[in-house]
Structure 1
């Protein structure tokens, strides 16, 4: 086992997760409105999807990769519509009264971001490009490939843990009225990302 593959995976997972997009906005909003654990599981869903695509790229599963790339229009349509739905739902949501008891919210938080990340065609394209550029794809050593994928998951999860922990520090200092505005603004931004994905289909991007 080569520990360098774990380090490379950590760097790849962290760097792909770090740019702020709809998932980042959703994670910040849920951390403020619903508490630390809901926010963390929101990010963990994205980290799991990153690991899934890292698995495809790391093990050189070109058949699956080609199928996903060929269906990117359908995936973008589904993802765009779901983002619009999630944006409206977020804008109309009320802040949780008891952030210490997230109950079943962690499950839906995890599932929704896993679905959003998996249906983003750019995710698989990013992993394929990065792995190919670094010469990490189609490895004959499945042990090293597995360590690489583990690193991708841990790197992505590390980013979400850092983000959620930082945001959660401010939750107790924010009033209920402010949280309502956080929900509305987050919902509008997420809805905007959804419209952007759908519009890109119309212009053929």
Structure 2
């Protein structure tokens, strides 16, 4: 196993996951409201999406990557609308509903929602292609690409592990009123992200 590619993948995956965007807000909110397991599983959905795009770039699947990049405006529009939906639903959730929410929503749905949202940004493929080419993976073997993609997943998952367990330590400090504000603030941020993404996609489609 090429340890150097593995370590580079871990650093790459961690650095890609670390900036707090809509997925980060969603995972932080879920951790505070439902616990670290839900937050971690949600983060793993994003990590898997990063690994999928890493595979497409690393293994040179140009047919798939070209299709996704060419259709990225429509894909981002769908993702933006879904973000708005999640944001509105988050604003309307009440702390009293948390226990019922945990029972009714399976971990799979938490995982699938972040997987889907992360996949709605096909431009990530172009970033992976550029980075992988810089590391010499494009001209290398499929084995090297697989090791690098594995590292990307491990690095991304490591970030979500650190985030969910760190945020979970703060749960006991919030009152019932605090959880209401968490829902409102998180929901507004998600709607804002969704509106910006949808608006940008619609303007680009119109032109």
Please say whether Structure 1 and Structure 2 have the same fold, judged by a TM-score greater than 0.5. yes
TM-score calculated relative to the size of structure 1: 0.92
Whether the 8 Å CA contact 2:78–2:198 is kept in 1: the answer is no
Partner secondary structure for residue 204 of structure 2: coil
CA distance in 2, matches of 1:126, 1:88: 31
- Does residue 112 of the first structure (1) align with residue 113 of the second (2)? yes
Instruction: Tell me how many residue pairs correspond in the alignment.
Output: 203
Map 1:54-93; keep pairs closer than 5 Å.
Answer: 54-93=54-93
Larger helix proportion of the pair:
2
Whether the 8 Å CA contact 2:45–2:111 is kept in 1: the answer is yes
CA distance in 2, matches of 1:138, 1:75: 30
Map 1:31-180; keep pairs closer than 5 Å.
Answer: 31-95=31-95, 96-97=98-99, 104-137=105-138, 139=140, 141-180=141-180
By how many angstroms is 1:102 displaced?
A: 5.7
Partner secondary structure for residue 204 of structure 1: helix
Structure 1 stretch 74-83 or stretch 86-95: which is displaced more? Answer: 86-95
Partner secondary structure for residue 97 of structure 1: helix
TM-score calculated relative to the size of structure 2: 0.92
Structure 1 stretch 127-136 or stretch 193-202: which is displaced more? Answer: 127-136
CA distance in 2, matches of 1:135, 1:203: 37
**What per-residue deviation string (whole Å, max 9, x for no partner) do you get for residues 104-133 of structure 1?**
431111000000001112322322222223
Partner secondary structure for residue 27 of structure 1: helix
By how many angstroms is 1:189 displaced?
A: 0.3
Partner of 1:189: 189
Whether the 8 Å CA contact 2:13–2:155 is kept in 1: the answer is yes
Partner of 1:17: 17
By how many angstroms is 1:77 displaced?
A: 1.0
Structure 1 stretch 5-14 or stretch 126-135: which is displaced more? Answer: 126-135
Whether the 8 Å CA contact 1:5–1:148 is kept in 2: the answer is yes
Which residues of structure 1 form unaligned runs of 5+?
A: none
Q: Which runs of 4+ in 1 moved over 4 A?
A: 101-104
